[in-house]
Amino acid sequence: MKKQDVFQIYQDCILNTYTRQPRIFVKGKGMTLVDIDGKKYLDFFPGWGVSNVGHCHPRVMSAIRDQVSKLIHIPNNFYHTQQAKLARELIYQAFPGKVFFCNSGTEANEAAIKFARAYGKGERFEIITFENSFHGRTLGSLAATGQKKYQEGFAPLPEGFKVIKFNSWPALEKTISDKTIAIMLELVQGEGGINVADRAYVYKIREICDKKNILMIIDEVQTGIGRTGKMFAFQHYGIEPDIITLAKALGGGLPIGAMIVKKKIADTFKPGMHASTFGGGLVICKAALGVLRAIQKEHMLKNAQKMSAYIFERLDALKARCKIIKTVRGIGLMIGIELNIEGKAITEECLNRGLVINCTHNTVLRLMPALNVTRKQADKALHILEKVLLKFS
């Protein structure tokens, strides 16, 4: 198929819900992508935070190959070993709890919302969420999302969500009521512009949740699976949430979502209260085990921490020389560069020069390289980024 034919078919046959860059990728390995013309790119935003272990990691590929040759789907009214192994591994990494498997981030959050409602027994049902949060596109997760631009035109949304200012204690104190059943947050707001939750604030949320028997739900869809240099972002904060939701990087590129709830509340869900036809399928669970093993065996968390320090140091130095950079922030390899101009032209120019990055919230460039990024790859990316940023300064 020719390039122009592909673009034309997309225009004719695919609903126009995405702003797309005119690139057709055909191959990927680690941090490298190859397009249909044979041009190579360094991918510093792999799959919106999906490919944390790089594209086509050998452990993920062999897990998928091995499983598809044996059995692909078994419904959830039977058992299989891959789901058992993955659940055990996730709980071991997170906290003593139980897992519900689904297929995406928004579904994981829907599960958490339903779980909270069930926990509230109809007496308490309000969920507090935050400005500039992002929890997904289905109606429940959309109602939880604290950004009007995603909600416009889809009213009425499910009720019971209170959106308040992020990192503000007075706002939280004022909003908690005897109807509150959960507080749901990202510890680093991804789509909202890489906004990091204050440590003391998170600690106080944990305290008030304990005091009032409110569920603390942490959306780790983007921050999870090593993105911040620890397996989960909550592990930076010295607290344990009641529920975490996962998706993006967990499947190594295949779709999966998961909700993990603390053991002592796990019996809130009883048979029939929630379900997913594909959730926790054999192939995806085996792929996810490959991802977790790759992170562990190849010491990727350590590498992510080391490379994070290096990249932040380089970006801070660049900031001093580049007047369009306002701030540099983030944790681990979840890195935001806030500009005082719009970032779209910069991401496009980087793409032309063979570097894939992202811009969120109009002015925040987002870098999320794979956890096994090397110093050489970082240098190359930073070199391109620096040239482009200085050109626009």
Across the strands, what pairs with 393? none
CB 45 within 8 A of CB 366: yes
Minimum Å gap between C-beta 352 and ligand PLP is: 26
Minimum Å gap between C-beta 365 and ligand PLP is: 17
User: How far is 263 from 267, CA to CA, in rounded Å?
Assistant: 8
Contact region with ligand PLP (CB under 6 A), list: 77-85, 160-168, 184-192, 348-356? 184-192
CB 319 within 8 A of CB 331: no
Minimum Å gap between C-beta 54 and ligand PLP is: 19
For residues 227-266, which are near ligand PLP according to CB under 6 A?
247-248
One-letter amino acid identity for 18? Y
Minimum Å gap between C-beta 273 and ligand PLP is: 21
Q: Is 186 in the site for ligand PLP (CB under 6 A)?
A: yes
* Residue whose C-alpha is closest to residue 197's, from 205, 188, 206: 188
Q: Is 110 in the site for ligand PLP (CB under 6 A)?
A: no
Q: Is 224 in the site for ligand PLP (CB under 6 A)?
A: no
Contact region with ligand PLP (CB under 6 A), list: 101-109, 176-184, 314-322, 354-362? 101-109
Q: Is 105 in the site for ligand PLP (CB under 6 A)?
A: yes
Minimum Å gap between C-beta 227 and ligand PLP is: 10
Contact region with ligand PLP (CB under 6 A), list: 123-131, 148-156, 171-179, 186-194? 186-194
Contact region with ligand PLP (CB under 6 A), list: 59-67, 74-82, 195-203, 216-224? 216-224
Selected binder of ligand PLP within 219, 226, 243, 364 (CB under 6 A): 219
User: How far is 207 from 372, CA to CA, in rounded Å?
Assistant: 36
For residues 121-150, which are near ligand PLP according to CB under 6 A?
134-136
Q: Is 43 in the site for ligand PLP (CB under 6 A)?
A: no
Nearer to ligand PLP, 218 or 382 (CB): 218
Selected binder of ligand PLP within 197, 202, 221, 289 (CB under 6 A): 221
Dmax of the chain from CA atoms? 62
Minimum Å gap between C-beta 129 and ligand PLP is: 11
70, two tokens = 């044996």
Count of residues in contact with ligand PLP, rule CB under 6 A: 15
For residues 187-206, which are near ligand PLP according to CB under 6 A?
190-191
Minimum Å gap between C-beta 359 and ligand PLP is: 15
Nearer to ligand PLP, 247 or 356 (CB): 247
Selected binder of ligand PLP within 67, 83, 93, 104 (CB under 6 A): 104
CA 196 to chain centre: 14
Nearer to ligand PLP, 357 or 384 (CB): 357
Pairing of strands 25-29, 32-35: antiparallel
Nearer to ligand PLP, 220 or 338 (CB): 220
Nearer to ligand PLP, 102 or 373 (CB): 102
Question: Which residues of this protein are in contact with ligand PLP, per CB under 6 A?
Answer: 104-106, 109, 134-136, 186, 190-191, 219, 221-222, 247-248
